[in-house]
Amino acid sequence: MLIDYQSMSLWELLAFNSPGWGGALLSGLALSLQIAVLGYFFGLIIGLFGAIGKLSQNLLLTDLLYCYTTAVRAIPELVLILLIYFALPNVINDVLYSFGFDGVEINGFFAGVLVIAFVQGAYATEVIRASIAAIPKGQIEAAHAFAIPKYKILYRIMIPSMIPHALPGLSNLWLIATKDTALLAVVGLTELTLAAKQAAGASKQQLTFLLAAGALYLLVSLLSEVLFKYLIKRTEKGQTHGS
Amino acid sequence: ETLRIGIATEPYPPFSVPDASGQYTGWEIDITKAICAEAKLDCEIVATAWDGIIPALLSRKIDVAAASLSITEERKRVIDFSDKYYQTGAAVIGPKNKPFGSTPSELDDKIIGVQGASIHAKFVKKHYKNATIKEYQTQDEANQDLYSGRIDATQADALTLESFLASADGMKCCELKGMAINDEALLGAGIGFGLRKGNIELKEKLNDAIQAIRDNGQYDTISKSYFSFNIYGE
Amino acid sequence: MGHETARKTRYLFGIRWLFPHRMILLVLLCLLVFSLVTKLDWYWIAEYKSAILSAVWKTILLLVSTFIVGFILAVPIGLVQVTGPRPLAMVAHSFCSIIRGTPLLLQIWIFYYGFGSVFPEIEGIRESFIWPFLTSAWPYAFFALTLSVMAYEGEVLRGALSGVPKGELEAAKAMGMKPFKILTRIWLPRAIQRTLPIIGGEVIIQLKATPLVATITIIDTYAIFSNIRLETYIVYEPLLLMTLIYLILAGAVTLIFTFLERQYKNR
Amino acid sequence: MDRNKPLKTKYILEVSDLKKTFNDIDVLKGINFTAQKGDVIALIGGSGSGKSTTLRCINMLETPTAGEIAIFGQHIDLIPDHANGLKVKSKEQLRSIRQRIGMVFQGFHLWSHLTIEQNIIEVPTQVLKIPRDLAIEEAHELLKRVNLFDKRHQYPSCLSGGQQQRAAIARALAINPDLMLFDEPTSALDPELVSEVLAVMKDLASEGRSMIIVTHEMKFAAEVANKVLFLNQGVVEEAGTPNDIFYAPRSEKLKQFIRSIK
Amino acid sequence: MDRNKPLKTKYILEVSDLKKTFNDIDVLKGINFTAQKGDVIALIGGSGSGKSTTLRCINMLETPTAGEIAIFGQHIDLIPDHANGLKVKSKEQLRSIRQRIGMVFQGFHLWSHLTIEQNIIEVPTQVLKIPRDLAIEEAHELLKRVNLFDKRHQYPSCLSGGQQQRAAIARALAINPDLMLFDEPTSALDPELVSEVLAVMKDLASEGRSMIIVTHEMKFAAEVANKVLFLNQGVVEEAGTPNDIFYAPRSEKLKQFIRSIK
Ligand SMILES: Nc1ncnc2c1ncn2[C@@H]1O[C@H](COP(=O)(O)OP(=O)(O)OP(=O)(O)O)[C@@H](O)[C@H]1O
Ligand SMILES: Nc1ncnc2c1ncn2[C@@H]1O[C@H](COP(=O)(O)OP(=O)(O)OP(=O)(O)O)[C@@H](O)[C@H]1O
Ligand SMILES: [Mg+2]
Ligand SMILES: [Mg+2]
């Protein structure tokens, strides 16, 4: 029989134990954050190498990266996740079956991280590329002139002096990552947005749960903002003039 | 071998409603379980967002979709359906202070809200030619706008509308204007289980089981605790 | 000698599209398109053609109008955060935090269903001339999307404005330029030039935010294809066509910004 | 342009007791000097002695920590500011004064999003409201004078160091200033150009414009300046005619400085 | 450090027929010269004559459009590159050569995210693998030598022009180079410091290090260099000892240049 939510008070609705939805919302948030953190992290790595590749002289590489960033940023995330989670294994499995092998399954969590990393990587490529381009050219030339190896120029000169330029853009991306996790509902993961939708739909208390989810998102982004501010402060030394 | 039954994660009371611990309850869940038992199938319920149900079915992640899918000719190009296991009529509701009925001529100059991509959307476009149509993603949103006065009427599944009319908002603003005319081609042949094409054996099993629980009274027993009327329709 | 070869090579490969690897990529692309077109099921296009076109038009309209208006309004928001005064900077900053910190979907719903449901309660409003305006969804969508551009671009502009070399601003100050002139002639052009690639990316992010308006009854590109999928249960074909449309839109945005970047390439 | 309006005082620039502190380090410890119309003053002194800072304080790019400055007979009022110690009272006045001051920075600071020609006509057209055609015409004159005419459509990043410096000089000249502040205007120039720039400056001086020049070129200072200030550790250690300073230094510091040059 | 390994040739640097074109403008039109061990070569010439570009081509910061360069007896092979004309064949070789070349840029180009001390120890610790303590010790020596010891924990943006230039010189010296490339190492220095830097350079020369110096200071060139090259419009117009160049110029251009200096 169905639970009667109409007679429950606000605190009962938001209680941690079922039938209250508070716990469900929080575990949804935890799932969202896990996927967002992993996706964001791998996205940054892709972005860093993507940016370097894009600034390189290799035409094939820059062309491929151009396609990657344009396409992945343009394609709606839902399409990507449907393709990676449903269509891709289908194609692989068809091949495997025809050779008499067993099929493979892509785990929903894994697919989620993959999609977020893939998408974030494309955005991060652009952000980092622009930030590298903003470093005074002379400073990189000086590094070359002193025979600092390329990878060291990267992490000793370019990354430290690029980070202050890149951080605002990267903090935007992090916020996008946390919200993009909402897509993972499609693969059956109950992340925050879906949990809120379910609570709202089941209890018919739309506003309560939308605001609750909104508050949780806001909390996350306020906390991340504090973190990013701290990072910006720490990395900005020497970049601006004196006082 | 277990049979994976896909249901939608989005709540659709009273057919399928999740609770905070991730358990699903509702009429459709109960009926599905009864049918599985009747057909001696070992069923496992798998919840997926609406967007993922058909892809999951086609990519073998689930075997049966039990998510209130309306049977239409167009959809039969892509998947197979079992026989219907319920069917509800379409109704029209509107504000209490505006007197009109549910015939096409009476709705001609009105703003009508419907759920987009539903059979009702098609129906409304076909029959209420001179009305202004607004499409919503969910019926709840259409109801909300009816309450706000942004639209004059909404047509949907009688059942859904009934529960809205019973709610506090619904009682305050609106009333039933009448049932929609019957258009089998559009309003469909009821709700059935979705199956991958060519899965004849499973389809037969499900059809037999539906018939069986209707015959042995289980169907009515379950339905009585949810509905005051005959949910199977005609 | 080497000089001559260099000139010759440049001449030979003058038409950049004709690099060998690009030819191969193009051929692969054509093969892919061909196989998709022939193998998959496209019968539904005829039925939905006009609906798709009008939906795409709505997407473009929403994107362009909200981005332009939002960006113009983002300038003061970014600026006060760099120059002060303190209280205004704090207001601008909190605005950015709140808008960026909550899902756009939620904002749209709060405006449309939240505020929207308050308006009908106002006495006499149903008879007034703004009622048709208030009952349509466009103003709410435009408002919500514009706010979002303001917040995100305000943040981007804040970073860009503070990154302009101080010496160049001092040079302008030292010659008695008025603050507004410095802003419009030196500071802003310099800042935008530096961040063009980032802004290009932001336009594409905004493009992908537009589908959320479907939840308040505006049938945009994304919504029309969702509808098609739900009505026909065909999964991949509508998604592919939609992807193609978004690719074309994003490609156009990228092209425009690449062009702009070229114009401002010097540094 | 009210260059020929009689001044209330005979000084075009009066600096008294100018102090500037950066993060608790006293960079200027009380600078005093005056300039009359037509004066060409050379500021010399060791690296880090505060020459650039003095110049920047004159047109308020750095707000002094204490002291008084009057330009063109107008006293620039400073009022307390709870954050930074002092701030300028009337921005309007400051702006109108700045429009008559041409400055050449040690780091050039050309606007990198504008071509050389655009850099030069920017202030004349946007601030002084000179018609564009006229401004371009004048810019071409100036560009020819500093020998950069054929680079006029280049962006600053494509120019050699000396070319950038000359462009910066042309930009400062374009506003037809009454007072010019030069921070090492010849540091990136070769001797040939130095003498050209010198000629330009002599011209300017003969037109009655006043100049403050920070320079390391003693020959240059001796030739163009009628007054030399020797800065040392934030104070004017010695001031006088070029002859006095270079051939009859009194203080030990200056003697040592002069010795090291020769 | 293989400074004392015998070279295959007696030249530490050979530049032949060096050409460089920027956007179809021929900036270098065929530069030829050689440097032996211990040579101090002064590059003089008008602004825009290609001095900086020559220097930058030597350690391949600009890839030449054509020509041959050999450093420390090793020929730097260039191979065609479909985009830019030419590119360096062996990056490994280039890097090992660059480790022995100290460069001071016209714009200093200190790394702005590092303090002065960090700027100086960066290459010794990261490239030459000198232990950090040792590198810091050496850095302090150098900082004292250029009189910047008390600024060692400042960031470049807080330094005056001359201080930045001295920091850049210290950074170049820190790698203990065999060949030094100086692009106007004294442009932002006052005469006092110029003579200090001059002393440092003479020291370096006496240690057997070779130097190429772009300079505008004729006195400086005359004193420190044993060979002077006069560049004009992308070619070496005249080369010789300082005496030849300054007191017995042959070409018309050089005569005019010398005249303008005096
Ligand atoms: N923004 C700043 N923050 C902290 N210290 C500063 C700042 N600007 C200048 N200084 C310090 O003030 C002192 C004087 O600097 P200034 O630039 O006036 O010297 P200068 O006489 O122009 O020297 P140079 O001939 O080398 O250009 C220096 O020691 C410098 O380190
Ligand atoms: N990146 C570039 N793009 C286009 N032209 C350039 C570039 N770099 C230098 N040039 C041009 O090449 C010529 C030589 O420049 P270079 O910097 O070598 O001169 P220089 O002899 O060092 O002059 P200075 O003494 O003024 O520094 C100049 O006319 C300059 O405009
Ligand atoms: Mg200075
Ligand atoms: Mg140069």
Ligand located closest to E162 CA = 1
Give the closest of C216, C226, C232 to B75, CB-based. Answer: C232
Give the closest of E47, E191, E195 to D193, CB-based. Answer: E47
Q: Do chains C and B touch (3 or more CB pairs under 8 A)?
A: yes
| Sequential pLDDT tens for chain A (243 residues) | 567 777 777 777 777 776 778 888 888 889 889 999 999 999 999 999 999 888 877 778 888 888 888 888 888 877 888 888 887 877 787 788 888 777 777 788 888 888 889 889 998 998 888 888 877 777 787 777 777 778 888 888 888 888 877 887 888 888 888 888 877 777 777 888 888 888 877 777 777 787 888 888 888 888 888 888 888 777 766 554 332
Give the closest of C174, C178, C267 to D103, CB-based. Answer: C174
Other Cβ atoms closer than 10 A to E173:
24
What is the nearest CA distance from E5 to chain D, expressed in angstroms?
37
From E204, E29, E19, select the one nearest E102 (Cα to Cα).
E204
Give residue limits of the domains in chain A.
Answer: 28-242
Ligand 1 neighbourhood includes E153 CB (under 6 angstroms): no
Ligand located closest to E25 CA = 2
CA distance D172 to D177: 8
Higher-scoring residue by pLDDT: C115, D164: D164
Residue C34 in any domain: the answer is no
Q: In Å, what is the CA distance from D172 to each residue of B47, C181, D119, D147, D165?
A: 73, 18, 10, 15, 11
Looking at residue C64, its pLDDT comes to 94
Question: What is the distance in A from the centroid of ligand 3 to the CA of E138?
Answer: 27
Q: How confident is the model at residue E220 (pLDDT cuts 50, 70, 90)?
A: confident
Could A168 and C208 be called an inter-chain contact, meaning their C-beta atoms sit closer than 8 Å? no
How many residue pairs bridge chain B and chain C with CB atoms within 8 Å of each other? 65
Ligand 1 neighbourhood includes E162 CB (under 6 angstroms): yes
Burial class (CB in 10 A: 0-12, 13-18, 19+), C143: middle
What is the nearest CA distance from E95 to chain A, expressed in angstroms?
5
Q: How confident is the model at residue B169 (pLDDT cuts 50, 70, 90)?
A: confident
Higher-scoring residue by pLDDT: C91, C46: C91
Looking at residue C92, its pLDDT comes to 92
Number of domains in chain C: 2
Q: Do chains B and E touch (3 or more CB pairs under 8 A)?
A: no
Looking at residue D65, its pLDDT comes to 86
Question: What is the distance in A from the centroid of ligand 3 to the CA of B126?
Answer: 81
Could C97 and A222 be called an inter-chain contact, meaning their C-beta atoms sit closer than 8 Å? yes
Contact between B111 and B149 (Cβ < 8 Å): no
Of all residues in chain E, the one with the smallest CA distance to A157 is E111
Average pLDDT over residues C224-241: 85
Higher-scoring residue by pLDDT: D87, B215: B215
The 10s digit of each residue's pLDDT in D140-196 is 988 988 888 888 888 887 787 778 888 888 888 888 888 888 888 777 666 666 777
D112 at interface of A, judged by CB pairs closer than 8 A? no
Q: How confident is the model at residue C127 (pLDDT cuts 50, 70, 90)?
A: low
Burial class (CB in 10 A: 0-12, 13-18, 19+), D55: buried
Higher-scoring residue by pLDDT: B229, E233: E233
Measured between beta carbons, which residues in chain C are less than 8 angstroms from residue B49?
A: none
Please confirm whether the linkage preceding A19 is cis (ω < 30° from 0): yes
pLDDT at residue E4 above 60?
no
Looking at residue C11, its pLDDT comes to 39
Give the closest of A143, A238, A242 to E112, CB-based. Answer: A238
pLDDT at residue C55 above 60?
yes
Please confirm whether the linkage preceding C85 is cis (ω < 30° from 0): yes
From E163, E50, E69, select the one nearest E116 (Cα to Cα).
E163
Average pLDDT over residues C102-111: 80
CA distance C70 to D16: 50
Higher-scoring residue by pLDDT: A134, B175: B175
H-state helical runs in A18-149: 22-55, 59-74, 77-82, 88-98, 108-133, 137-145
Same domain as C261, residue C203: yes
Question: What is the distance in A from the centroid of ligand 1 to the CA of B129?
Answer: 80
Q: How confident is the model at residue C91 (pLDDT cuts 50, 70, 90)?
A: very high
CA distance D253 to D259: 10
Same domain as C14, residue C88: no
List the domain range (segments joined by +) for residue C52: 45-265
Looking at residue D145, its pLDDT comes to 82
Of all residues in chain D, the one with the smallest CA distance to E47 is D162
From C45, C211, C116, select the one nearest B116 (Cα to Cα).
C211
| DSSP-derived pairing of the beta strands B111-115 and B132-136 | parallel
What mean pLDDT is reported for chain E? Answer: 82
Looking at residue C13, its pLDDT comes to 42
Mutate to test the interface with B, among C105, C126, C225, C231 (most CBs of B within 10 A): C231
Contact between B62 and B56 (Cβ < 8 Å): yes
pLDDT at residue C15 above 60?
no
Looking at residue E46, its pLDDT comes to 80
Looking at residue A45, its pLDDT comes to 93
Question: What is the distance in A from the centroid of ligand 4 to the CA of C63?
Answer: 48
E30 at interface of C, judged by CB pairs closer than 8 A? no
Helix (H) or strand (E) holding D179: strand D179-183
Residue whose Cα lies nearest atom 12 of ligand 1: it is: D27
Could E99 and A146 be called an inter-chain contact, meaning their C-beta atoms sit closer than 8 Å? yes
Higher-scoring residue by pLDDT: B227, E161: B227
pLDDT at residue E8 above 50?
yes
Residue with tokens 């040592």: D256
Average pLDDT over residues E121-134: 87
What mean pLDDT is reported for chain C? Answer: 81
What is the nearest CA distance from A165 to chain B, expressed in angstroms?
39
Looking at residue C151, its pLDDT comes to 92
Q: What is the CATH number of the domain that holds C51?
A: 1.10.3720.10
Looking at residue B65, its pLDDT comes to 92
The 10s digit of each residue's pLDDT in D43-69 is 988 878 888 889 888 888 888 888 888
B169 at interface of A, judged by CB pairs closer than 8 A? no
Question: What is the distance in A from the centroid of ligand 1 to the CA of E154?
Answer: 12
Average pLDDT over residues E40-62: 87
Mutate to test the interface with D, among E21, E47, E182 (most CBs of D within 10 A): E47
Average pLDDT over residues B2-29: 86
Looking at residue C198, its pLDDT comes to 80
Average pLDDT over residues C90-103: 87
Residue C39 in any domain: the answer is no
Q: How confident is the model at residue D262 (pLDDT cuts 50, 70, 90)?
A: low
Other Cβ atoms closer than 10 A to D82:
6
Give the closest of B51, B118, B149 to C126, CB-based. Answer: B149
Looking at residue D188, its pLDDT comes to 65
Average pLDDT over residues C106-111: 80
Could D99 and C176 be called an inter-chain contact, meaning their C-beta atoms sit closer than 8 Å? yes
Alpha carbons within 13 A on the beta-carbon side of E258: 20
Residue whose Cα lies nearest atom 16 of ligand 2: it is: E50
Residue whose Cα lies nearest atom 31 of ligand 1: it is: E159
What is the nearest CA distance from C9 to chain E, expressed in angstroms?
6
Q: What percent of chain E has pLDDT over 90?
A: 3
Question: What is the distance in A from the centroid of ligand 4 to the CA of E52?
Answer: 4
Name which CATH class applies to A28-242. mainly alpha
Token pair of A239 as six digits: 């970049």
Could A239 and E113 be called an inter-chain contact, meaning their C-beta atoms sit closer than 8 Å? yes
Ligand located closest to D57 CA = 1
> What chains are in contact with B, requiring at least 3 Cβ pairs below 8 Å?
A, C
Same domain as C145, residue C25: no
Ligand 2 neighbourhood includes D161 CB (under 6 angstroms): yes
pLDDT at residue C73 above 90?
yes
Buried residues in A117-128 as b, exposed as e (16+ CB within 10 A): bbbbbbbbbbbb
Same domain as C186, residue C122: yes
Question: C44-83 and C86-101 are packed helices; what angle lies between their axes, rounded to 10 degrees?
Answer: 150
Residue with tokens 């022939």: C38
E21 at interface of C, judged by CB pairs closer than 8 A? yes
Please confirm whether the linkage preceding E242 is cis (ω < 30° from 0): no
Residue C123 in any domain: the answer is yes
pLDDT at residue E176 above 60?
yes
Looking at residue C254, its pLDDT comes to 85
Could A176 and C114 be called an inter-chain contact, meaning their C-beta atoms sit closer than 8 Å? no
Note the ipTM here.
Answer: 0.68
Looking at residue A43, its pLDDT comes to 94
Looking at residue D8, its pLDDT comes to 57
**What 3-state class would DSSP assign to D131?**
coil
